[in-house]
Amino acid sequence: MADLPTAVEALKADPDLAGLRRSLEAYYGDPAREAAMDAFYARFVRPGDLVFDIGAHVGDRLGSFRRLGARVVAVEPQPLCVRALRALYADDPRVTLVEAACGARPDPVRLHVNSANPTISTVSPQFIAAAAGADGWAHETWDTEVEVAGTTLDTLIAAHGVPAFVKIDVEGFEEAVLAGLTRPLPALSFEFTTIAREPARRCLDRLTGLGFTRFNVALGDEMALALPRWRTAPEVAAYLLGLPHRTNSGDVYAAVPPS
């Protein structure tokens, strides 16, 4: 398998990947951050589990899932990010890379690329509209479009098996991703933002309809659950609605009742 520190340094030095350099510097090479991430995800992921990483970006969560002993299907539509993921993980036999955007249907979609900040590239025009003029977002520009392949969670499950955990981080397209799932899973997470809170409520409704009953939240990039106990979907929806705008983003965690 690739020597990750060496591969990361090579990617950071590649002028064609300049837009990813900030992410590579932030997400790799910090042992304390990696240890905190592993400790956090260990409550959801055990050795031998299958995990789907939907919106894998440059693969820092993917790396955590692998350190925890999971087999990972990493889904990412951005060509530059896929190039980075291949450099870092293509030689790992327990990682499957899928170059596609996950959504409601397995059809090609238009990816709106933010060349200066690829981490917030999105398939969602509504996300771009919500960012326009929003505090902290006004300088962001989605300057390129590219057609990418599509897939769904149901399609991925049919091809690879039922995952123990799914991480969804797709910049405002989370609702469409969940529309492509028709069965409950042990646990999953989806990203929310404070510039568009209504999609998170609809995601909670969708998950409730699929049989998820327990919910919690992690704020920003913190590797900790913000609520002292798991809550109902309406309670978490109210919590998200009350967050200050400066929170910016975080992740909702959902689980089925413990067996």
Give residue-wise pLDDT tens across range 185-219: 999 999 999 999 999 999 999 999 999 999 999 99
| pLDDT given for residue 2 in this prediction | 65
How far is the C-alpha of 108 from the C-alpha of 185, rounded, in Å?
26
How far is the C-alpha of 59 from the C-alpha of 40, rounded, in Å?
16
| Mean per-residue pLDDT over the chain, rounded | 94
Residue 164 has pLDDT above 70, yes or no: yes
Kindly state the percentage of the chain with pLDDT values over 70: 99
Ranges assigned E (strand) in 58-177: 71-75, 95-98, 101-102, 109-113, 144-148, 150-151, 165-168
Residue 114 has pLDDT above 60, yes or no: yes
**Nearest Cα to 252, choosing from 164, 191, 208?**
191
What is the pLDDT averaged over residues 163-173? 96
Residue 116 has pLDDT above 70, yes or no: yes
Residue 57 has pLDDT above 70, yes or no: yes
Confidence of residue 259 (pLDDT cuts 50, 70, 90): low
Beta bridge partners of 214: 255
Confidence of residue 119 (pLDDT cuts 50, 70, 90): confident
